[in-house]
Amino acid sequence: MRETPVLEIKGIKKRFGDKEILKGVSFALNRGDIKAIIGPSGGGKSTLLHCINFLTLFDEGHVYLNGKEIDYTNKRELYAYRQKVGMIFQDFNLFDHLNALQNVQIGLVRVKKIPKAQARDRAVAELERVGLKEHMDKYPAELSGGQKQRVSIARALAMDPEVMLLDEPTSALDPELVGEVHSVIQKLAAGGMTMILVTHEIGFAGSLAKEIMFMDEGVIVEKGPPRKILYEATQARTREFCDKIIHFHRGGDESR
């Protein structure tokens, strides 16, 4: 029997006014799958991730978690689903008035209703997992970009997600801070976390993901193993994009 995917999306369509951003996107992730989405800006990658979490409501399509379709109009179901699907944002979105520990703890206390002391222990453990235990008393404004992103990963992990959606997790970081976030994501991968990673770091995507999906103009143009997509793509658009970005990455140190 075929395995039921952890997360499956079918025919997601979204338009903003006249512009169709997503033109029917479908894919499925089995437990432990890591898929990377690459493609030019404005191609709908970020919108797609936001749609999967219903942070942006789509016009048509279906989302299934463990085979069960999510009815976002049922608030209770929606909130439970969002806990299972961790979201990492490009610009971290930490809660500015809470320190690192409280950022991780608040979901446990306010959403999962775990007693404070117990939530604190869990939050400390999650911060330790991302290597930030000694910074847990610091406020977001006192942390570097890389540290902020690691806190946001800890915050998502504390909710026990079954899937993580990472929306360009390192694109807002200074180059020297990218590595620390990548290594946390690699650790998650090694631990078997199911993930969708939207990124421009194709080298990282290639080393992490089993499958890369190339997305442009609201559709998944092509998907396959990293080697195939990056170097032997069949679609001209994919080839053109990958050539450019590979060349760019090799081209110079001053650019990312």
Partner 1 sequence: MHFSVSAGLKAVVEGLPYILGGVWVTLVVVAGALVMGLVLGTFLSIAHVYGNRLLRMLTGIYVWFFRGVPLLVLLFLFYFGLLGALHLDLSPFLVSIVVLGLISSAYQSQILRGAILSIPEGQLKAARAIGMSDTKAIATIILPQAFRLAIPGWSNEYTIIMKNSAVTYALGVAEIMARANHVAARTYQHFWLYLLAGFIFLALTYIGTKLLSLLQKKVAIRGYAR
Q: List residues binding partner 1 (CB under 8 A).
A: 53, 55, 75, 79-80, 82-83, 86-87, 89, 91-97, 106-107, 110-111, 138-142, 152, 155-156, 159
- Nearest approach in angstroms of CB 42 to partner 1 is 19
Nearest 10 degrees: Cα torsion 88, 89, 95, 99? 60
Distance CA 1, CA 78 (A): 29
Nearer CB in complex with partner 1: 4/102: 102
**With left for phi above 0 and alpha for psi between -120 and 50, is residue 98 left, alpha or beta?**
beta
Nearer CB in complex with partner 1: 73/255: 73
- Nearest approach in angstroms of CB 238 to partner 1 is 30
First to last CA, the chain: 44
- Nearest approach in angstroms of CB 140 to partner 1 is 8
Per-residue three-class SS string for 94-140: CCCCCCHHHHHHHHHHHCCCCCHHHHHHHHHHHHHHCCCHHHCCCCH
Closest alpha carbon to 186 in 162, 173, 161, 203: 203
Nearer CB in complex with partner 1: 148/200: 148
- Nearest approach in angstroms of CB 81 to partner 1 is 8
Distance CA 125, CA 114 (A): 15
- Nearest approach in angstroms of CB 172 to partner 1 is 11
Nearer CB in complex with partner 1: 128/142: 142
Nearer CB in complex with partner 1: 123/229: 123
Distance CA 27, CA 224 (A): 12
- Nearest approach in angstroms of CB 142 to partner 1 is 4
Q: What is the CA radius of gyration of the chain?
A: 18
Nearer CB in complex with partner 1: 117/141: 141
Q: Within 13 Å and on the Cβ side, how many CA atoms surround 161?
A: 28
